[in-house]
Structure 1
Amino acid sequence: MIFHKHYILAFLLILVCGTSCKKFLDIEPRGKVMLKTISDFDLLLNGRGLTSSGNSYLNLMTDECDKPAIKSDDYSSDALSYLWQEQLTADAGKPPVIWTEAYTNIYVYNAVINQVENATTGSVLEKKKLKAEALLGRAFEYLYLVNMYAKPYNKATADVDLSVPFVNSTDITTKTPARATVNFMYNQILNDINAALPDLMKGNNPNKFRGSVNAAYSVLARAYFWKNDYTEAEKYAVLALADPANGLLDLNTFAAPGDMPAMIASKQEIYARYGTTPIQTLASDINFLKTFSEGDLRLKMYYVNVSLNYAPVETIDFTKLKRGDILFYPQGPVPSFGTSVAEMKLIIAEAAARSGNLSLALTHLNELRLSRMSNKKPYQPYESSDPEMVLQQILMERRHELASSGMRWIDMRRLDVEKRIPAINRFDANGKIIMTLQPNSKQYVLKIPTNVLGFNPDMPQN
């Protein structure tokens, strides 16, 4: 990689250690990045690390997975996440999961934002485009962080609720900033994306891991959605879907999971991202499985039955089903932690349902379901004149469509505020309750990692 590997290490340690890790300041080149030409910066944005955002540990925190073989002496990050422990990295001497991956990406984006205009080659337009892509990428990382390490957005308290440090420097001698407020962080995210929009590639980017106007609209839609501003979320979701190159995949057209197009080639992906620390195989909670309709092809495409030699799930006999029998086990493309056509349609549907526009809500809901249900029987559109019933159906559809993509945990956070999430229990192999996530629990907000606080003693804990 063009980027000096020792510099990344030094930055990560300085982020964790504050200004106390003096020995790492002796690494050459001091505070410099091996980036000169426009090609150097372009290659940096193609780095493998930037293809992953969010974190797969989020899936383990949800009400959709099960770990029937969980053991009391398991201190892996998987188990700690599943049991909603205060720290997700047992060894405080190791880089903390989630935090480290996000700030590594942020550091790379900052290098482009701060230095690409000084590139020795390339036109002004080329430099602006790369800076715009980096602004969008950084905003996307911070959007995840604010929705993991801060309380869900609340307009009444957003100016005092603490989020994460807003790091915009690549100078390793700079002291780690104080934790920004939730309101500051959302404003920064929205401002950066809007600043990027004029210089981004129009429509979709052929490389869906890179920025584009459509990608920016989709991230704006998600940001406003998580901010509970459903009017703006709907507006930008509509804009994100305007490109005729976008569209839903009809699962009826694929005989097997492996026939589905890869994430980067799929017309329904807008801003593609793998999850960091991929956890692709998850035992599914039986109660969650019971919410799928008969003929839902997502079962066949993403789930397997362990008791039937990992055969794709066509139908489920719940009278014989045991915990751990059904795994989320994609044998084709893995779920994207980025934005998609399906997510945008669900944002429009939920926003419309909440505003009372049930016709629009049902249109988008049924368009999505039509492409997911088997055509062996005529599709029966979902219909209701009850706003609450329509909203509940849309929320359930989000669970089915966005399963294991990091979305459910953040949905649980925002819906818990509306008292829509009951207590969630974790059970051992014998069915004994070993942990409960109560409504309005402080566990919905991740703790700042111990080693970050150890080297930043003035940083308040959640």
Structure 2
Amino acid sequence: MKITFSRHTSAILASFFFFVSCEDFVDVDLPDDKIASQTVFANDNTALDAMQGIYNQLFNVQFSSGSSSSVTFLSGLSADTFMVISSNQTNLEFLQNEITIQNSKNLSIWNSAYNIIYQTNAVLEGIENSNTLSDIVVERLNGEAMFVRAFCYFYLVNLYGDVPLILTTDYSVNTLASREDLSLVYTQIISDLEYAIDVLGIEYEDKERIYANRYVAMALLARVHLYLQNWKQAESLSNEIIQQTAIYEILEDPDVVFMANSKEAIWQISPIGSGEGFGHTNEGNQFIITSAFSNAVVLSDSFMTIWDSDDKRSEHWIGNIVEDGEVYNYPYKYKVQFDDSGSEETISEYSMVLRLAEQYLIRAEARVQLGDLPGAISDLDVIRKRANLPLISEINPSANAEELEQLLLEERRKELFTEWGHRWMDLKRWGKASDILGQTKDDTIEPMDLLYPIPEEERNKNPNLSQNPGY
């Protein structure tokens, strides 16, 4: 898809986003701010461009970028997915689950997530204050902005617990916001996602799966209800997505799963957001090893021991190089390490955020909790069949709930590794982080280690921002 902005539009959007993304909430000239907002939301095209700017930013801002300051990278260190091959102290703190309040990458996650939230709030306010936008664009932009806001808050509450609930661009309010109980933040997340489901259509704009549609919002809401142990809601939502066989399917070839607009993709982030002509994902650039010590991390020894010899995922999604007799294993879900050709038409991979395989795992877990063990086995077998593993329905059709829970944890680890911190969050919500990480890392994991610290720099600016216990 080719996305172009006129020089005039680009200048307007740059002005608009300058006002809504200042991390320090500096006092700005409000009349200019209003002029920028009124201009952006004066017609459908520029308003849509503003939302496109947010989608593009998701590729660039740290928490969602897939780079070395992203949720994927840092929570992979916090769990048992990676081991480091460099002595970078900020990375070691995540690996050792001893993050200091001064850690710069922890600050980057916090700031960049809130940066996107501020931008979604600006879009929502711009829509509300405009009387010139068409009804169809108003509904679409409201739904998309609320989805992205909910997406950001989902990661904030799962990494930090209680967080400020920012629903305005008013810097005088935001700079003094205190942390809200995570139950209230979850209430807002659910409200935003339910609204998005109500107003968004089922088609992808321009057939590009980088835009939120009804099923994108539904997929995230299914995960939210799973985390909140609302089993019936999680099962129902995942079930509806899985039934959309004309749009989504589990792909037999693991090598095409992470391709741009693959039928397994529910939502992706495009490298086009770089604005630099890059045709590679940050995950591919970050993880693929071209020579020893060219990257900061490799897959951990404990992770490499979990694979069955016939599992197609280890064959297709793990790469390795051998140098000086040492084997270095790395994530190889993305095949393009670097591409600066500048051609939008040749971009072959998008960063995967939500995909169909997770929905089968969500439904399987919900079914175990609801007592539908045959249904859970059927869902797990969908994942295992693609992986070329023996089907549970054939080797252990009478598996009990405890056995299926263990299989779920294992299959989630294998299927979703190096994708958006699933392993870290699974270990926490299943209450297994201390036991499992204590063994694989040969270290003690304290309760305080399960939440990241509120960055010291943010607390210095905001006297109402409290700290997590133990920091």
TM-score (norm 2): 0.78
1:256-335 to 2 correspondences below 5 Å: 257=255, 260=256, 262-273=258-269, 278=283, 279-281=286-288, 282-307=297-322, 325-332=328-335
Could you tell which deviates more after superposition, 138-147 or 53-62?
53-62
What is residue 97 of structure 1 aligned with on the other side? 108
Alpha-carbon shift at residue 80 of structure 1 (Å):
3.0
Gaps of 5+ in 2: 1-9, 65-69, 272-280, 289-296, 337-348
Instruction: Please name the residue that 1:158 is paired with.
Output: none
**2:193 is equivalent to residue 209 of structure 1:** no
Structure 1 residue 419: Cα displacement? 7.0
Q: Distance in 1 between matches of 2:57 and 2:395?
A: 41
Separation in structure 1 between the aligned mates of residue 120 and residue 439 of structure 2, nearest angstrom = 37
User: Cα deviation per residue 1:236-266 (whole Å; 9 max; x = unaligned)?
Assistant: 1111222121110102xx7xx4xx2654411
The superposition leaves residues 29-81 of structure 1 with CA deviations (integer Å, 9 ceiling, x where unpaired) of: 246535132212212222211357372322221112112x343xx33x43332
Percent identical pairs in the alignment equals 23
Figure out how many residues of one structure are paired with residues of the other and give that number: 409
Query: How far, CA to CA, are the matches of 1:341 and 1:294 in structure 2?
Result: 25
1:129 counterpart = 2:116: no
Task: Verify: 1:396 aligned to 2:410, yes or no.
Answer: yes
2:237 maps to 1:236 = yes
Matches within 5 A, 1:371-410: 371-373=386-388, 381-383=394-396, 384-405=398-419, 406-410=421-425
Residue 50, structure 1, aligned to residue 66, structure 2:
no
CA distance change for structure 1 residues 397 and 308 in 2, over 3 Å: closer, same or farther?
farther
Query: How far off is 1:223 after superposition?
Result: 0.5
- Residue 437 to residue 301, structure 1, CA distance change in 2 (3 Å): farther
Question: Judging changes above 3 Å, is the alpha-carbon distance between structure 1 residues 380 and 297 closer, same or farther for their aligned structure 2 residues?
Answer: farther
Alpha-carbon offset, residue 365 of structure 1: 0.6
Question: Contact between 2:377 and 2:393, CA under 8 Å: does it hold in 1?
Answer: no
Higher helix share: 2
1:445/1:221 CA distance change after superposition, 3 Å: same
More off after superposition, 139-148 vs 347-356:
347-356
CA offset digits 1:89-117 (Å, max 9, x no partner): 645xx992111221121122112211124
Give, in angstroms, the shift of residue 341 of structure 1. 0.6
In structure 2, the CA distance between the partners of 1:404 and 1:287, relative to structure 1 (3 Å rule), is same
Change (3 A) 1:234 1:195: same
Greater alpha carbon shift after TM alignment, 111-120 vs 123-132? 111-120
Q: CA deviation at 1:203?
A: 5.2
Equivalent residue in structure 2 for 1:29, among 28, 32, 35: 32
Structure 1: which 5+ runs fail to align?
151-162, 310-319, 427-432
Distance in 1, matches of 2:266 and 2:444, equals 33
CA contact (8 A) 1:45 1:210 kept: no
Asked whether the equivalents of residues 166 and 174 of structure 2 are also in contact (C-alpha less than 8 Å), the reply is no
Distance in 1 of aligned mates of 2:452 and 2:352: 19
Report the more deviating stretch, 131-140 or 115-124.
115-124
For 1:300 and 1:58, the matched residues in 2 are separated by: 24
Q: Aligned residue for 1:60?
A: 77
CA distance in 1, matches of 2:370, 2:440: 33
Partner of 1:200: 200
The separation in 1 between residues aligned to 2:438 and 2:83, in whole angstroms, is 15
Q: CA contact under 8 A between 2:381 and 2:391: conserved in structure 1? A: no
Q: CA 1:104–1:424 in structure 2 vs 1: closer, same or farther (change >3 Å)? A: farther
In the TM superposition, residue 386 of structure 1 has moved relative to its aligned partner by 2.4
How far, CA to CA, are the matches of 1:329 and 1:78 in structure 2? Answer: 21
Q: Secondary structure at the match of 1:190?
A: helix
Match in the other structure for 1:445: 451
Note the alpha carbon deviations across 1:301-328, whole angstroms, 9 max, x for none. Answer: 221122179xxxxxxxxxx9x6x62112
User: Per the alignment, do residues 50 and 418 of structure 1 end up closer, same or farther by CA in structure 2, a change over 3 Å counting?
Assistant: closer
Residue of structure 1 in register with 2:248 after alignment: 246
For residue 355 of structure 1, report the CA deviation from its aligned partner: 2.7
TM-score (norm 1): 0.79
Check the 8 A contact 2:238/2:363 in 1, yes or no: yes
Q: Is the 8 A contact 1:349 1:364 kept in 2?
A: yes
Q: Which residue of 1 aligns with 2:100?
A: 87
Alpha carbons 2:139, 2:199 under 8 Å: kept: yes
Alpha carbons 1:201, 1:211 under 8 Å: kept: no
